[in-house]
Chains A and B, each alone.
Chain A
Amino acid sequence: MLAYVVRRTCFGALVVLGVLLFLFLLFFGVTSPDDIARRAIGDKAMPHVIEQWKKNHGYDKPRLPGPGHLTDNLLVEHYRRMLTFDFGKSDADNTPIVDRLKHGAVPSLCLTVPEFLLGLLLGIWSALVVALFRGTYIDKSTTILCVVLMSVPILLFIIGGQYLIGKQLRWFPISGWERGSSAMWRFLALPVIVGVLSGFGGTVRFYRTVFLDEVYRDYVRTARAKGAGDMRILLRHVLPNAMIPVLTAVVMEIPFLFTGSLLLEAAFGIPGLGSLTVDAINANDFATLRTMVFIGSLLFVAAQIMTDIGYTLVDPRVRLE
């Protein structure tokens, strides 16, 4: 078992290194340090100012290792900084990235965690109800509703939600953010509603399939023959056995809770980590971008390892390779 954990962790570390390399190649294939400098300083900058800026930010080195500068190049710098968690300052406005991370984590989590939990609870609850009433008109109508909801792009939910709830009904502010716990939930209500609604269709369909897979199994028929009630069967037999695929899906979502929902944050003006990433993409801010991707990949790899370990612990049929 330990060997397996070690092996998976090593593999995970390799993936993170691979991600860093891929990000580096991708970014510097598209832009150059000169571009980053110009975006940060402004277009009127004279060449010597650009050189100065590059020197200040450590971009005045060659990009890849080569003869004469095997360790003194951007790639090695890139790895060194990330692996020592030395995130440095943003290229666009010189603020320490760690500060931005701390500031952005709170709004992101306040948005993603309630949305995730609510979506999960609602999804599982609805799927259980549908499994309970399978075959009746509730099942049919819910299925149709789910397919329709899945066919509507999230953008329409956003636009429609802002128009209906923010503007016509005036229940919640259309967008924006205010720090402080009492005011926060007002700004979160609309994005959470939009997020849950747009994911509802897919979630319920997925869990419905999972639960129905279980419900049609022999042991359920046996339990019913023995006289157990429907509710009891669902909660005590079906749900625990269906937990494995549910858990897999849930655990794999956790990294994305931290990195924030890019679309919702951008559309609703919530200054979280997702918004930070979008701003960094638009402003060519490589320092911030690589930090976000690095953290995201770390979390993703960690979640994957945990899932795999959990899988082997829970299901003895899975062979350990």
Chain B
Amino acid sequence: MHPRSWPVRLLGIALCSLACTNNPYPNADDGKKVYYSSFSEPPRTLDPAVAYTTTEHEVTGAVFDTLLEYHYLKRPYELIPGLAVRVPVAEPLPEGRVRYTFELRPELRFQEDECFRRFGAAASREITADDVVFQVQRIADPQVNSPVVEPFSNLLGFSEFSARLAKLGKDDGTFSKLPARERYRRAGGIEGIKSLDARRLQLTLGAAYPQILYWFAMPFSTPVPWEAVEHYDGKEGRAPLQDHPVGSGAYLLSEYDRQARIVLSRNPNWYGLGHPEWTAPGAVFPSDGEPGDFGPGAIEPARKGLPLAQIVRAEYRREKEAIPAFTKFLQGYFDNSGIINESFDKVVRDDRLSDEMKSYGMRLDKSVEASIYYIGFNMEDPVVGTAAGERGRKLRQAMSLVVDTVEFLRLFANGRGVPAQTLLPPGLYGYDPARKNPYRALDLERAKALLAEAGYGDGIDPKTQRPLHLTFDTADTSPEGRQAVQFHVNNWRKLGIDVEIAATTYNKFQQKVRDGAYQLFQWGWVADYPDPENFLFLLWSEMARSKHNGPNTANFKHAEYDKLFLAMKSMENSPARLGIIQRMLAILEEERPWIEMYHREQYALYHGWFAGVKAAGLSVPTLKYQDLDPVVRRQKRADWNRPVLWPMYLLGLLLLLAAVPGVRSYLKERQ
């Protein structure tokens, strides 16, 4: 070995120990109120008419302000005015129609953007009611392909407008090249949404649909400037609209590399910053909430009434893998995080934060998500579906009686879930904690008896004299996913039923669903808004997957259920509505198109320096309510991330030692 290489090696180790650190952020940002978080799935589009995923909503919720908002703290969820002055009340009209009138605040402005300069002199302009009308027209535009056409179809003339646009486009080849505003004008607009003047907006619905107000609390109905739609068309080097949102919210999108990083910066044109004297409900921290929201360990009472948008910048980094992301959270490089299964035992002890995590200064927030996760049967399958009649029903009931949700949650979700008796989650109207689904208890004996009654005694299929063979289709090929399904299969094997797992790629799975070639599957649904209709519609026959490509993947078709659904759909909450809901749940209990598993519980972890947080079970924009202390954060990060350097020195020493005998023998050989 070359003696000359020793100093080089020592120098290398010395340099390394000076520069070793695992901080991924530039040092300049250390003292600023910058919020760091992560996302795993890149957003596909930030067009508010189309964006639907959690990541996309995290951005659009901060960038786009809506007419109404959800109260940050109150549960069950309550609507408060956002851009609108007050929450409108339904005015009944003749022939069952309903009208709502919104009034926008004065002097609301869009964020500064070059698209305004192209069509005018200024870099921004005032928001008008026409901007909301324009956006709702965009939802109706077939070219935009919005996923929320269905709820907005309750507006009078919405579907007709959409059809007229489609027809004009087909008849005239040049029509689709015209700018959007011109096209909507030529198609005559939507009768059910009109601007009365610059600041007043009127909605007219063909029939009562109280849930429409929830849709005006979501970014789908935010005011959108036509300048942005025309300017950001993806030509001549300009970004397409899906990559360049122009809104009026507390934040604007300042950096967007969808595969790696999303950065939001505070919007100086936001009304909360421009007009603090308004103390508008959407621009100050709420003073009331649930009992226990304010106090030690929760939100400081001093925060009540403080102006919002304390955080100056929010940086979201792409983390494809959950474990490194969580490790970075523990190191202080992300300000909040969920909990991953692998670290659960370290973080949570006896349902509360472990002492180790408390010493970090962390806080734990639990909330039950308005969701339902279930195993479904394809009701159009000849063996497990409606065609099998009484036999099929008893088979489904038997299989439902051996699915052990509590153990499943313990194994695969660390108990983070509420076992479901019906499909309605806690917090929703119609949820009854005392209601027990007779087929969601664990009863192996009863299941065996039912199976025998169905003609499958001991699980044997009389046609083949072997165990009944069913297939469970899943698109989750990961080891965790397979194990989860295997758990259910093991339980069904106790009945003697042989369920085969078909874990295929996402494409193949979707193809099978389209072809109707599936028997058992698992799925989940998270509520769009807090109304039971948003869950019960999942089993409405009009939503069947096979017919209309809707979310009713079980293809459940039940005449009485459909009738009851149409009745309760647009009712206001009342004992009559409750009665109908309970009858619908009873039907589902007997028919068993689904085996309801659980409602997911979200555990959120926050570092001690992160303030003003409350977990939201729905997709509610929260960034403007949050705050952080960068000085404390910098200190903690330094404390928690001192590099352990002694192994490096040890390694160097060992290498030197190992060389000695070799050098000695070499020198001996030379002589």
Whether chain A touches chain B in the assembled complex (some CB pair under 8 Å): yes
Query: Which stretch from B151-159, B317-325, B401-409, B534-542 is at the chain A interface?
Result: B317-325
Q: A183 is contacted by which of B26, B234, B661, B670 (Cβ under 8 Å)?
A: B26
The answer to whether A183 and B22 touch (CB under 8 A), given A35-B511, A44-B147, is no
Contact B665–A186 (Cβ < 8 Å): no
Contact B665–A133 (Cβ < 8 Å): yes
**Bound Cα distance from A266 to B319, whole angstroms:** 11
Contact B666–A176 (Cβ < 8 Å): no
Q: Which residue of A lies closest to B506 (CB)?
A: A39
Q: Does A250 contact B (CB under 8 A)?
A: no
Contact A44–B549 (Cβ < 8 Å): yes
**Bound Cα distance from A46 to B549, whole angstroms:** 8
Q: Does B582 contact A (CB under 8 A)?
A: no
Query: Which stretch from B486-494, B562-570, B638-646 is at the chain A interface?
Result: B638-646
Q: Does A105 contact B (CB under 8 A)?
A: no
* A173-200 interface with B by 8 A CB criterion: 173-178, 180, 183, 186-187
Contact A171–B643 (Cβ < 8 Å): yes
Using Cβ atoms and an 8 Å threshold, which residues of chain A touch B321?
175, 267, 269
Q: Does A114 contact B (CB under 8 A)?
A: no
Contact B145–A45 (Cβ < 8 Å): yes
Contact B507–A31 (Cβ < 8 Å): yes
B147 CB → nearest A CB, Å: 5
Contact B510–A38 (Cβ < 8 Å): yes
**Bound Cα distance from A309 to B145, whole angstroms:** 56
Contact B666–A186 (Cβ < 8 Å): no
**Bound Cα distance from A209 to B662, whole angstroms:** 21
**Bound Cα distance from A284 to B506, whole angstroms:** 10
A51 CB → nearest B CB, Å: 11
B237 CB → nearest A CB, Å: 10
Contact B260–A171 (Cβ < 8 Å): no
Contact B1–A39 (Cβ < 8 Å): no
* B11-31 interface with A by 8 A CB criterion: 16, 20-26
Query: Which stretch from A18-26, A160-168, A291-299 is at the chain B interface?
Result: A160-168
Contact B510–A43 (Cβ < 8 Å): yes
Contact B22–A170 (Cβ < 8 Å): yes
Contact A132–B240 (Cβ < 8 Å): no
Q: Does A169 contact B (CB under 8 A)?
A: yes
Q: Which residue of B lies closest to A178 (CB)?
A: B24
Q: A172 is contacted by which of B22, B234, B661, B665 (Cβ under 8 Å)?
A: B22
A216 CB → nearest B CB, Å: 18
Contact B324–A175 (Cβ < 8 Å): yes
Q: Does A129 contact B (CB under 8 A)?
A: yes
Question: Across the A-B interface, how many residue pairs have beta carbons closer than 8 Å?
Answer: 102
Q: A169 is contacted by which of B324, B647, B666 (Cβ under 8 Å)?
A: B647
Contact B507–A166 (Cβ < 8 Å): no
Q: Does A271 contact B (CB under 8 A)?
A: yes
Contact B22–A166 (Cβ < 8 Å): yes
Using Cβ atoms and an 8 Å threshold, which residues of chain B touch A180?
26
Contact B24–A269 (Cβ < 8 Å): no
**Bound Cα distance from A42 to B648, whole angstroms:** 50
Q: Does B389 contact A (CB under 8 A)?
A: no
Contact B643–A136 (Cβ < 8 Å): no
**Bound Cα distance from A186 to B511, whole angstroms:** 43
Q: Does A48 contact B (CB under 8 A)?
A: yes
Q: B327 is contacted by which of A31, A38, A166, A186 (Cβ under 8 Å)?
A: A166
Q: A269 is contacted by which of B20, B145, B258, B324 (Cβ under 8 Å)?
A: B324
Contact A49–B145 (Cβ < 8 Å): yes
Contact A187–B318 (Cβ < 8 Å): no
Q: Does A222 contact B (CB under 8 A)?
A: no
Q: Does B44 contact A (CB under 8 A)?
A: yes
Using Cβ atoms and an 8 Å threshold, which residues of chain A touch B21?
186
**Which of B25, B52, B143, B328 lies at the interface centre, i.e. has the most chain A CB atoms within 10 A of its CB?**
B328
Contact A173–B258 (Cβ < 8 Å): no
Contact A174–B644 (Cβ < 8 Å): no
**Bound Cα distance from A164 to B260, whole angstroms:** 26
**Bound Cα distance from A313 to B145, whole angstroms:** 62
A149 CB → nearest B CB, Å: 16
Q: Does B142 contact A (CB under 8 A)?
A: yes
Q: A133 is contacted by which of B52, B142, B662 (Cβ under 8 Å)?
A: B662
Using Cβ atoms and an 8 Å threshold, which residues of chain B touch A129?
1
Using Cβ atoms and an 8 Å threshold, which residues of chain B touch A167?
327
Contact B147–A136 (Cβ < 8 Å): no
Q: Does A41 contact B (CB under 8 A)?
A: yes
B164 CB → nearest A CB, Å: 15
Q: Does B254 contact A (CB under 8 A)?
A: no
**Bound Cα distance from A145 to B142, whole angstroms:** 65
**Bound Cα distance from A39 to B510, whole angstroms:** 10
**Bound Cα distance from A103 to B24, whole angstroms:** 19
Q: Which residue of A lies closest to B145 (CB)?
A: A49
Using Cβ atoms and an 8 Å threshold, which residues of chain B touch A173?
22-24, 328
**Bound Cα distance from A293 to B661, whole angstroms:** 50
**Bound Cα distance from A39 to B507, whole angstroms:** 8
**Bound Cα distance from A167 to B641, whole angstroms:** 10
Using Cβ atoms and an 8 Å threshold, which residues of chain A touch B641?
170
* B331-356 interface with A by 8 A CB criterion: 331
Using Cβ atoms and an 8 Å threshold, which residues of chain A touch B234?
94
Q: Does B259 contact A (CB under 8 A)?
A: yes
Using Cβ atoms and an 8 Å threshold, which residues of chain B touch A230?
669-670
Q: Does A156 contact B (CB under 8 A)?
A: no
Using Cβ atoms and an 8 Å threshold, which residues of chain B touch A10?
none
**Bound Cα distance from A258 to B533, whole angstroms:** 54
The answer to whether A93 and B44 touch (CB under 8 A), given A49-B142, A49-B145, is yes
Q: Does A15 contact B (CB under 8 A)?
A: no
Contact A35–B324 (Cβ < 8 Å): no
The interface bits of chain B over 627-655 (1 if a CB of A lies within 8 angstroms of the residue's CB, else 0) are: 00000000000000111110110000000
Contact A169–B644 (Cβ < 8 Å): yes
A133 CB → nearest B CB, Å: 6
* B238-266 interface with A by 8 A CB criterion: 240, 242, 258-260
Using Cβ atoms and an 8 Å threshold, which residues of chain B touch A169?
643-644, 647
Using Cβ atoms and an 8 Å threshold, which residues of chain B touch A314?
none
Using Cβ atoms and an 8 Å threshold, which residues of chain B touch A137?
661
Q: A138 is contacted by which of B20, B242, B260, B662 (Cβ under 8 Å)?
A: B662
**Bound Cα distance from A174 to B22, whole angstroms:** 8
Q: Which residue of A lies closest to B42 (CB)?
A: A93
Q: Which residue of A lies closest to B551 (CB)?
A: A44
The interface bits of chain A over 242-258 (1 if a CB of B lies within 8 angstroms of the residue's CB, else 0) are: 00000000000000000
**Bound Cα distance from A94 to B145, whole angstroms:** 16
Contact B665–A93 (Cβ < 8 Å): no
Contact A162–B324 (Cβ < 8 Å): yes
**Bound Cα distance from A281 to B224, whole angstroms:** 35
**Which of A39, A174, A187 lies at the interface centre, i.e. has the most chain B CB atoms within 10 A of its CB?**
A174
Using Cβ atoms and an 8 Å threshold, which residues of chain B touch A49?
142, 145
Ranked 9 nearest A-B pairs via Cβ: A174-B324, A175-B324, A173-B22, A169-B644, A138-B662, A49-B145, A171-B20, A170-B643, A173-B24
Between-chain CB contacts (< 8 Å), 30 pairs: A35-B511, A39-B506, A41-B145, A42-B52, A46-B145, A46-B549, A93-B44, A129-B1, A136-B665, A137-B661, A166-B22, A166-B324, A169-B647, A170-B22, A170-B641, A170-B643, A170-B644, A171-B22, A173-B22, A173-B23, A174-B328, A175-B319, A176-B24, A178-B26, A183-B26, A229-B670, A269-B319, A271-B260, A271-B318, A279-B259
Given contacts A170-B644, A174-B327, A271-B259, 6 further A-B contacts (CB under 8 A): A41-B145, A43-B549, A94-B234, A133-B665, A166-B22, A176-B24
Query: Chain A: residues with CB nearer than 8 A to chain B?
Result: 31, 35, 38-39, 41-46, 48-49, 52, 93-94, 129, 132-133, 136-138, 162, 166-178, 180, 183, 186-187, 229-230, 266-267, 269, 271, 279, 284
